[in-house]
Structure 1
Amino acid sequence: MNVGEWAAVIGAAGSLLGGGGFFVARATVKAARATAAAQQAAALATAAPAQQAANLAVLEATVRRVDEENGALRGEQARFRSLLRAFAWTVDRWAGQMHRAGIEPEPVHPLVEEYNRTGV
């Protein structure tokens, strides 16, 4: 029996008892609400593990993607540092050649001077 059928049965019984139908109908509505709330809570409890598994799958995929991106960025950064060192070495060599030829090069930028001093 569904909630509507129960309400009809209880309403009929209440009217037979004489005027108690209102209170019975009110109790039936409250019972129906309580049943609906319990069914909703049970559905949520049943769905929670599946939702957590889906959330975990999304998180794992995101972590894998970020790890791949970080690996690629680390590779690019290492290559850029190598290129910067090679460029600094080349420019230093050219400046030395200019000094030996009696040509005074323009002063280097402060960031270049810092890099030559510290390597960072």
Structure 2
Amino acid sequence: MNVGEWATLIGAGGSFLGGGGFFMARATVRAAQATAAANQAAARAQAAPAQQQADLAVLQATVNRVDEENGQLRGRMSRLESVVRAFSWTTDRWARQMHDRGITPEPMHPLADEYNRTGV
């Protein structure tokens, strides 16, 4: 073999090995990316129960607060309905007393009249 043939042979071999190195490097990068993606997925899977627990704790605290507020509002609403009912009975009694004595009272407000007729 002469020098030109050796040069061609070495160039071809180097080209082949260099190309193989390129493909090996590409495969290594892809393997590293796949490993990183798998590690991230594993970390998310491990963190998911803790995140769900935190979300559940926030939800439970919100439900407890809303339940407490609803209880307070129901109590206030019940008290207000009792006051309106008592006031309605009182004004109705006064209106009857005025009628009995021949005094014509002012006409009742439409909302009060509706409450007296329907209780709502």
TM-score bucket (shorter structure): 0.7 to 0.9
How many residue pairs match? The answer is 105
Within the alignment, does 1:18 sit opposite 2:45 as a pair? Answer: no
**Counterpart Cα distance in 1 of 2:17 and 2:45:** 42
Deviation at 1:79, TM superposition (A): 0.1
Alignment of 1:34-45 (within 5 A): 34-45=34-45
Q: Percent of aligned positions with the same letter in both sequences?
A: 71
In structure 2, C-alpha distance between the alignment counterparts of 1:45 and 1:119, rounded to whole Å: 58
User: How far apart in 2 are the matches of 1:26 and 1:119?
Assistant: 81
Unaligned stretches of 5+ residues in structure 1: 1-14
1:54 maps onto 2:41 in alignment: no
Q: Match for residue 64 of structure 1? A: 64
Please list the CA deviations of residues 40-69 of structure 1 after superposition, one character each: whole Å capped at 9, or x if unmatched: 000000000000011111111111000000
Structure 2: which 5+ runs fail to align?
Answer: 1-13
Deviation at 1:115, TM superposition (A): 1.1
TM-score, structure 2 as length reference: 0.82
Larger radius of gyration between Structure 1 and Structure 2: 2
Cα deviation digits, residues 4-29 of structure 1 (max 9, x gap): xxxxxxxxxxx8x8212111111111
> Structure 1: which 4+ aligned runs deviate by more than 3 Å?
none
By how many angstroms is 1:96 displaced?
1.5
Could you report, residue by residue, the CA deviation over 1:45-100 in whole angstroms, capped at 9, with x for unpaired residues?
00000000111111111110000000000000000000001100111111122212
For 1:71 and 1:23, the matched residues in 2 are separated by 70
CA distance in structure 2 between the partners assigned to 1:53 and 1:76 by the alignment: 35
* C-alpha separation in 2, matches of 1:18 and 1:43: 38
Q: What value does the CA root-mean-square deviation take over the aligned residues?
A: 1.4
